[in-house]
A and B are shown apart, each in its own frame.
Chain A
Amino acid sequence: MTVLAAATAASTLAACGGGGDDGGGGTSSGDSGSNEASDIGITETSIKLGAHFPLTGVAAPGYSEIPTGAQAYFDCLNEQGGVNGREIEYIYRDDAYNPTNTSQVVQQLVLEDEVFAIVGGLGTPTHSAVLDFLNSEGVPDLFVSSGSLLWGDDPETNPYTFGWQTDYTSEGKIIGDYIAENFPDAQVGLFLQDDDFGEDGEAGIREYIDDQIVAAERYTPGNTNVGPQIAALQAAGADFVVGFNVPSYTALSQLTALQLGYDPQWFYSNVGSDPTLVGNLLNNFSEGQVSDASLLDGALTTDYLPTVDEPDNPWVQEFQRIWDECGGEGELTNYRIYGMSQAYTTVQALQAAGQNPTRDGLVEAIETAGSEWEGPVLAPFRYSEDSHMGTAGMSISRVTGTTTEEVAPVQLTDIGDAEIEAYDGEPAEVPENGIPDEESVVD
């Protein structure tokens, strides 16, 4: 059955190629030699990629949409001829955000499905469980969906793993710097998830406004009663609250603050700030009780990707087209944009790895060329031989109604002593069909 499908796909491709006029941007560097099965997961006509996401369980809401976005992008890409004439076969499996399951499904992807690389595996505790496995098996572990420092900080130990999104410490630094400049008199309270996410963010923010912080409250994921934490922030007199929390806790903290009549200036880090999702979360309360998404009105947040509430952004328009043509049910969401953007970077990496990519060649390509790539991500990646950290910068925006407006342009920084500086690059242009066109950097 599968064999038959693959054969059909191959013949269709051949037919396309035979048409002569190469319309798609996807096959540009395939000018010399022929496709070979150059490594595990690569055939003459396909590249197999794997991923693990929480599709069931508590973490599924929101996050389970990421792979549907990536899938839509790859489907549209395949219609245009794929990468160097190879279709992307994207397999994502459910780990229910449980590291034991992650270990099982990733072993299944690597040992049974024999994928070429893992792309975008989600979560810090979950992906930690497979970090050693993937690196000891030599499987490229690209663009982990988490801002932990684990992925990019130590390429010597984990040569095959790459981060992608802005790490939480850099994000904390940019937020701290912004508060120090614009709200020097604010009494800042921190609302933190009790894990590395909250810790890394707190470390970054304290580099800039340690003396302004009057309270740091931590919640444990899964415990939905945040009343005590919000009450403590209120009691400490915080009039500016920075949250390093997931979206459901943005909504919970807003509801609890409403109960208590507590109205500080809110600043939610990128992970927890999706106004569409939070707005949806809160919308059923609107029957005369809470006036629509207005709860989040005025809250500040950070961005490293364009968002669905910027319908004029050319990247969002392109992603909307891809979703309409190749996507499944439901609307385009920020999670799906995230998945598509990750898929975009993946295609850049595959193109850079040459016509007949190998696993080691892929890693080399990202280290060599990754910092040059442009795309939907607002600021460049930090990829080099010494760092596998993802994008380095963020802009800050304010939620107004159901959309956002930028209040501070993109700024760059890095972990450690790195300063914060303004980013002077222009937003990247959208290539034809939303498919990148990178040169091979591997011989």
Chain B
Amino acid sequence: MSDLRSTATDTPAAGKASSDAPTEATAGADEPTATRRRTLLPSSTLLRHLLLLALGAVATVVILESTDPFTNSQLATLSYYAIAAGGLTVLTGMNGQISLGHGALMAVGAYTTALFLSAEEPLPLPLILLAAILVATAVGALVGVAAARLHGPYLAGATLALAVGLPGLAIYFHDWLGGEQGLRVRAPRAPEAFDSFISAVSGNSASNTKWLAYLGAICLLITYFLLANLVRSRIGRTWRAVRDQEVAAELAGINLGAWRVLAFTVSAAAAGLAGGVLALVVRLAAPSGFTLVLSLSLLTAIVIGGLGSLLGALLGSALLVFLPPFVTDLGSGWGLDNTEAAQLAPFVYGVVLIVAMIFAPAGFVGSIRMRWLTRQATRSAARSSRG
């Protein structure tokens, strides 16, 4: 069992659900009903995804303009979690490789962004984020080459060491990378076009918080659009073949190692972008922001949401962002003092993980899909028995 093939083979329903899910998942953050509409959507994958992208963009504007500034800032946080989780779900869900080290790859993207932004005359933001992606991709490829040889717990161990080890370099090279207190990031101001866009759409004032939320959302939509197309392409099918039918794939002349490295590289690119967005939103790249907890949270997000599904990655990330403050406030409401309420959040978080895995082992998306499929099957069975 030493690798993750069992994910797919042991529970065929869950595996199948997860490999199909991204089709509908793309950008429809608030569209769990997308499945039903499949017939209404264009049959071409690309067109369908473009349509969902446009829907996602509209939904983004509606959500960001109808919520308060704090929710805006939470959604900015959600965006970088979701970008990284999207990349990870491709790696773990599609290709069957586990990674406990994606937080470290996010650190690479964050530090790259911080360094480029600290230049006298920084490059335009899109170029800087592109640089963050490229550097993280390069590091990811390097790690991927090593990781492709490893299975199951050995891969977990290696990536765990990555998560804990890499941020330490920032402390060692403190003159360059700012040491323990990190590099402070001054996010570039919003362009004027953004101000006029916001006032035209909703009449709200365009604060910096709002600008960062939009920036995160744009990066998120683009990432999910690209990832969704990728997993529906030949590349995605090959990844699934490498995951589910290792021997058959090898017989068919597929170079397993190379495809595994590619999967790692793609997910590293997403992690790099997520790190860049994180640096902008948090306004800091510091080692203590990239602890093991971050890497484990990403893994949690994709499993809770439904492995291999982009929608699942998004929902899982939302849980990470919204659950702790909700529980803390609930605790304060019950009359706990702040310290006790603060302890309550991780406790509930842990319990939710356990309960979710016991009662919905396929994650949110997987469980809903499975229920839907079961109902369909029952219905068609009923129909055929009647007919």
The interface of chain A, by Cβ under 8 A from chain B, is: 1, 55-56, 64, 67-68, 91-94, 97-100, 103-104, 107-108, 111-112, 124-126, 128-133, 136, 148, 194-196, 199, 220-221, 328
Query: How far is A56 from B344 in the complex, measured between Cα atoms in Å?
Result: 10
With an 8 Å Cβ cutoff, the count of chain B residues facing the other chain is 40
Residue of chain B at shortest CB distance from A223: B168
Knowing A99-B288, A99-B289, the reply to whether A55 touches B182 (Cβ < 8 A) is: no
Query: How far is A316 from B132 in the complex, measured between Cα atoms in Å?
Result: 53
Closest approach, in angstroms, between the C-beta of A206 and any C-beta of chain B?
17
Which residues of chain B have C-beta atoms less than 8 A from A68's C-beta? 337, 339
Residue of chain A at shortest CB distance from B337: A328
Which residues of chain B have C-beta atoms less than 8 A from A98's C-beta? 288-289, 291, 293
Report 6 cross-chain contacts, Cβ distance below 8 Å, ordered by A residue. A94-B345, A104-B73, A104-B325, A108-B325, A111-B72, A221-B180
Knowing A56-B346, A100-B282, the reply to whether A220 touches B184 (Cβ < 8 A) is: no
Query: How far is A286 from B148 in the complex, measured between Cα atoms in Å?
Result: 52
Which residues of chain A have C-beta atoms less than 8 A from B339's C-beta? 55, 64, 68, 94
The answer to whether the Cβ of B300 comes within 8 Å of any Cβ in the partner chain is no
The answer to whether the Cβ of B378 comes within 8 Å of any Cβ in the partner chain is no
Contact call B343/A99, Cβ cutoff below 8 A: no
Query: How far is A91 from B328 in the complex, measured between Cα atoms in Å?
Result: 12
Contact call A128/B69, Cβ cutoff below 8 A: no
Which residues of chain B have C-beta atoms less than 8 A from A199's C-beta? 179
Query: How far is A353 from B156 in the complex, measured between Cα atoms in Å?
Result: 56
The answer to whether the Cβ of B286 comes within 8 Å of any Cβ in the partner chain is yes
Contact call A111/B69, Cβ cutoff below 8 A: yes
Closest approach, in angstroms, between the C-beta of A159 and any C-beta of chain B?
16
Knowing A98-B288, A100-B289, the reply to whether A125 touches B180 (Cβ < 8 A) is: yes
The interface of chain B, by Cβ under 8 A from chain A, is: 68-70, 72-74, 77, 168, 171, 174, 179-182, 184, 186, 208-209, 278, 281-284, 286-289, 291, 293-294, 325, 328, 333, 337-339, 342-343, 345-346
Which residues of chain B have C-beta atoms less than 8 A from A111's C-beta? 68-70, 72-73, 209
Contact call A56/B184, Cβ cutoff below 8 A: no
Contact call A103/B208, Cβ cutoff below 8 A: no
Query: How far is A195 from B77 in the complex, measured between Cα atoms in Å?
Result: 27
Which residues of chain A have C-beta atoms less than 8 A from B293's C-beta? 98
Contact call A99/B338, Cβ cutoff below 8 A: no
Contact call B282/A112, Cβ cutoff below 8 A: no
Query: How far is A97 from B68 in the complex, measured between Cα atoms in Å?
Result: 26
Give me 13 other A-B pairs in contact (C-beta within 8 A), A91-B338, A103-B284, A111-B73 excluded. A93-B338, A97-B288, A98-B289, A99-B182, A99-B284, A103-B282, A108-B73, A125-B180, A125-B182, A125-B286, A128-B284, A132-B184, A199-B179
Which residues of chain A have C-beta atoms less than 8 A from B286's C-beta? 99, 125, 128-129
Residue of chain B at shortest CB distance from A132: B283
Residue of chain B at shortest CB distance from A146: B181
